């Protein structure tokens, strides 16, 4: 807004360090044995099914891949709901460590295959019926490359279910809520990136000293909604289902305003917070 130094001193009083943790502390915490929460995992899956309005389902005959699976709670929820062939992939090693611990706790005949890999360079030896990415696409480096790779990951009749956000250019898109006591809308857009990264290092992640959002552990790709639409078109993928900001449906007046704003190409990038999209190959009818 006013440059790195002034922005830093404007934002500094609004920040706190109650969630401060080094990368070493986060890695150690991920390796600790924690009780897997089957109820929480089931509720997360139910939310996904609800927001896709029934188009997403679990079928034991289908092969699923959960891209950006994190600590594996949703991946394991697929197994609990009846899936028998599930793979979880995540770039952050500590997330996969935690997912494997959770899988051992759950046990059972079917166990997900958890893989630590960059989805843009990983070469699977097969294709999947269903690609799921829940609250992860905004973190994937080169989202255009990932979206174009969906045709490589999917079987000919396969479907991709992408649920992601908050989008960076939305009011809550900088993913820094945990280190601010007072939240300002469009903080990542309005204020200097270097000022925000300086604060992040000081009060939130001292072991992750980076100057750009794209370089934080886990990544943040700054993709706009309009770019997402362009990427799907270039990848020869059809959007068979699309829902924007469904979390606002419980607040009808705000949701109606959101519906109007997200339909306008002039301003929609700044008001699309979350996206739920089902994609299929364009040549599949």
- Which domains does the chain carry? 33-175+220-281 (3.40.50.150)
Task: For 106-145, write each residue's pLDDT tens digit.
Answer: 877 778 899 999 999 999 999 999 999 999 999 999 999 9
In total, the chain counts a number of residues equal to 285
Task: For 244-256, write each residue's pLDDT tens digit.
Answer: 999 999 999 999 9
Q: What is the pLDDT of residue 33?
A: 61
State the average pLDDT over residues 189-218.
Answer: 94
Among 41-50, 109-118, 158-167, the range with the most confident prediction by mean pLDDT is 158-167
Which of the 8 DSSP states describes residue 15? B
State the average pLDDT over residues 252-273.
Answer: 96
Handedness of CA 129, 241, 163, 106 (dihedral sign): negative
Diameter over CA atoms, the chain: 58
Q: What is the pTM of this model?
A: 0.92
In angstroms, rounded to a whole number, what is the distance separating the alpha carbons of residues 60 and 78?
10
In angstroms, rounded to a whole number, what is the distance separating the alpha carbons of residues 265 and 195?
30
Residue 285 has pLDDT above 60, yes or no: no
Name the one residue in this structure whose structure tokens are 């994190």.
70
Residue 190 has pLDDT above 70, yes or no: yes
* Contacting residues for 51 by C-beta, under 8 A, at least 6 apart: 163, 243, 246, 276
Count Cα atoms within 13 angstroms, Cβ side, for 190: 13
């Amino acid at each position: 807004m006013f440059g790195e130094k002034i922005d830093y001193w404007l934002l500094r009083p609004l920040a706190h360090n109650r969630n401060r943790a080094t990368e070493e502390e986060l890695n150690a915490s991920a390796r600790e044995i924690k009780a897997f929460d089957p109820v929480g995992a089931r509720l997360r899956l139910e939310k996904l099914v609800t927001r896709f309005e029934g188009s997403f389902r679990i079928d034991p005959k289908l092969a699923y891949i959960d891209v950006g699976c994190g600590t594996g709670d949703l991946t394991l929820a697929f197994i609990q709901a009846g899936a028998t062939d599930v793979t979880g992939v995540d770039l952050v090693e500590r997330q996969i460590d935690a997912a494997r611990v959770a899988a051992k706790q759950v046990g059972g005949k079917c166990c997900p295959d958890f893989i630590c890999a960059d989805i843009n360079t990983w070469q699977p030896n097969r294709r999947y019926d269903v690609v799921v990415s829940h609250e992860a696409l905004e973190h994937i480096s080169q989202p255009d490359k990932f979206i174009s790779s969906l045709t490589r990951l999917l079987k000919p009749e396969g479907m991709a279910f992408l649920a992601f956000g908050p989008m960076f250019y939305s009011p809550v898109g900088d993913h820094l809520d945990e280190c601010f006591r007072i939240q300002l809308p469009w903080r990542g857009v309005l204020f200097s990136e270097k000022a925000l990264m300086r604060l992040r290092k000081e009060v939130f992640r001292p072991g992750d000293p980076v100057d750009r959002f794209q370089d934080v552990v886990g990544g943040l790709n700054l993709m706009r909604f309009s770019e997402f639409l362009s990427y799907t078109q270039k990848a020869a993928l059809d959007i068979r289902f699309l829902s924007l900001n469904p979390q606002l449906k419980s607040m009808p007046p705000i949701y109606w305003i959101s519906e109007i704003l997200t339909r306008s190409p002039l301003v929609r990038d700044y008001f699309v917070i979350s996206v739920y999209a089902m994609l299929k190959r364009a040549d599949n009818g």
